[in-house]
Amino acid sequence: MADSEVIVAAFTELAPNYQPTIDRELRIFWGISYEQFLERFIAQAHIREGEIVLDVATGTAYIPAHIADQVGEQGRVFGLDITPAMLQHGTVKLAAAGLLSSTRLVCGSGMAMPLADGVFDVILCGLGTHHMQAPKLLSEMRRVLRPGGRLVVADAAATAFWRSFAGALMLRLLLFFYVMSLRSARARAERDALDSLYTAGEWGALLAEHGFEQIEISEIRALRRYVPGGVILQGVRPAAQP
């Protein structure tokens, strides 16, 4: 995981061009647009009217903007992110769409959320887990979810090939040339995120270890063998507390 200064520098640099950049990357890696990714991911959450939803690593608030209508006037959508510049762009977007009264953006880390216990019906996190330590993030997600609350996470995943000697070597060489050619904070943040990418099986074990039940995992296929595919993870915080 990159340290938080590198992450904030990376996403401050990216904030004005976030949407076209991520759209281009998803088309190259997964053959889908950012919009198609968001629709597929958000559909898994089955958000209902009146629900209180938290979007962790919300960035420029595309996810809150998509789901504000689904929770309606009785519901609320909170977006949490560590990069103020991403949230500033998000605030402008939510204001332009007239969604400021049903949404709230909070600056903070997903690994130490400035949020009360047991508040949220649903937690989402899109393309953000690889910048955090999964055990800390999952503990915090479980803490702020209400008993019976649902977690839906989508991110890049490690592949079985990367776990082989040849795969690990090739990946580190590719990342070395990626960082040397771009020399940007974003490239450093993505390189440092490598050890926070897990395979679908590893994610399943992590969710179970952190007390989630009804775990379901679907995969998003990469177009090429050596680039990361994606995973969409679902789990429920048990209604009865251990």
Ligand X SMILES: C[S@@+](CC[C@H](N)C(=O)[O-])C[C@H]1O[C@@H](n2cnc3c(N)ncnc32)[C@H](O)[C@@H]1O
Which residues of this chain interact with ligand X, rule CB under 6 A?
Answer: 7, 11, 57-59, 62-63, 80-83, 86, 109-111, 126-128, 131-132
**Closest chain position to ligand X (CB):** 59
Closest distance to ligand X from the beta carbon of 54 (Å): 11
111 or 213, CB closer to ligand X?
111
Which residue lies nearer to ligand X by CB, 126 or 235? 126
Chain centre distance of CA 160: 21
Give the C-alpha separation, 156 to 17, whole Å.
Answer: 20
Q: Provide the minimum distance between the beta carbon of 174 and ligand X in the complex, in angstroms, as a whole number.
A: 19
Q: How far is the CB of 22 from ligand X (least distance, A)?
A: 6
DSSP character string of the chain? ---HHHHHHHHHHHGGGHHHHHHHHHHHHHS--HHHHHHHHHHTT---TT-EEEEET-TTTHHHHHHHHHHTTT-EEEEEES-HHHHHHHHHHHHHTT-TTTEEEEESBTTB-SS-TT-EEEEEEES-GGGS-HHHHHHHHHHHEEEEEEEEEEEE---TGGGSHHHHHHHHHHHHHHHHHH-SHHHHHHHHTGGG---HHHHHHHHHHTT-EEEEEEEE--SSTTS--EEEEEEE--SS--
Who contacts 89 (Cβ-Cβ below 8 Å, separation ≥6)? 15, 16, 18, 60, 61
Least separation in angstroms between CB 8 and ligand X: 7
Q: Which C-beta is closer to ligand X: that of 103 or that of 109? A: 109
Q: How far is the CB of 78 from ligand X (least distance, A)?
A: 12
Closer CB to ligand X, residue 65 or residue 207?
65
Based on CB atoms, which residue is closest to ligand X, 62 or 78?
A: 62
Q: Which is nearer to ligand X, 13 or 69 (CB)?
A: 13
Q: How far is the CB of 124 from ligand X (least distance, A)?
A: 8
Rounded Cα distance, 144 and 131, in Å: 20
Closest approach of Cβ 10 to ligand X, in Å?
8
Q: CB nearer to ligand X: give 94 or 111.
A: 111
Q: How many Å apart are CA 108 and CA 79, to the nearest integer?
A: 10
